[in-house]
Amino acid sequence: MAHETVTVLVYSDDRNTREQVRLALGRRPAADLPTLEYLECATAPAVVRALDAGGIDLCVLDGEAVPSGGMGLCRQLKDEIYGCPPVLVLIGRPQDAWLAAWSRADAAVSHPVDPVALSGAAAELLRARAARRIHAS
């Protein structure tokens, strides 16, 4: 797995939030993971098109995005995309964790972006996805 790359979709209507996510995750969120490539989306339809096309290993969705928030979008993706990749939702405050659970997000991290929390959650989701792929082979 060390020589591969994985693709992370980052959704937010705010380019500063997308940049914060990219900077927090960097090229590799953990030493045992492959390097990351990013696909940025500013609209919900772009996210759906990207997931329909395939090749996405992790989605990071901004729960505070407008007009389509990441939590509602996450729920839609989990319902509509077969084999939906893991989704990490950025929530506005820790009290919104129940909304992230409702959305069926695989993980949630609070705004403002905390690089340690975000990379830890992303690494855990990417490891779990890689393990599922190995067991499915």
Instruction: Quote the mean pLDDT of the chain.
Output: 93
pLDDT at 1 > cutoff 70: no
Token pair recorded at residue 25: 């995750």
At 135, is the pLDDT very low, low, confident or very high (cuts 50, 70, 90)?
low
pLDDT at 11 > cutoff 70: yes
Q: Cite the beta strand spans of the chain per DSSP E.
A: 5-11, 35-41, 58-62, 87-91, 107-110
Per-residue pLDDT averaged across 22-48, rounded?
Answer: 96
Least confident stretch, 71-75, 83-87, 94-98: 94-98
Residue spans per domain, the chain: 5-136
pLDDT at 136 > cutoff 60: yes
Q: Tell me 113's DSSP state.
A: P
Residue type, 25: L
Question: What pLDDT, on the 0 to 100 scale, is given for residue 2?
Answer: 47
Q: What is the CA radius of gyration of the chain?
A: 14
Per-residue pLDDT averaged across 68-87, rounded?
Answer: 96
pLDDT digits (tens, 9 = 90+) for 93-131: 888 889 999 999 999 999 899 999 999 999 999 999 888
At 132, is the pLDDT very low, low, confident or very high (cuts 50, 70, 90)?
confident
88, 79, 78, 71: which is closest to 36 by C-alpha? 88
Question: What pLDDT, on the 0 to 100 scale, is given for residue 118?
Answer: 97
- Looking at domain 5-136, which CATH architecture does it have? 3-Layer(aba) Sandwich (3.40)
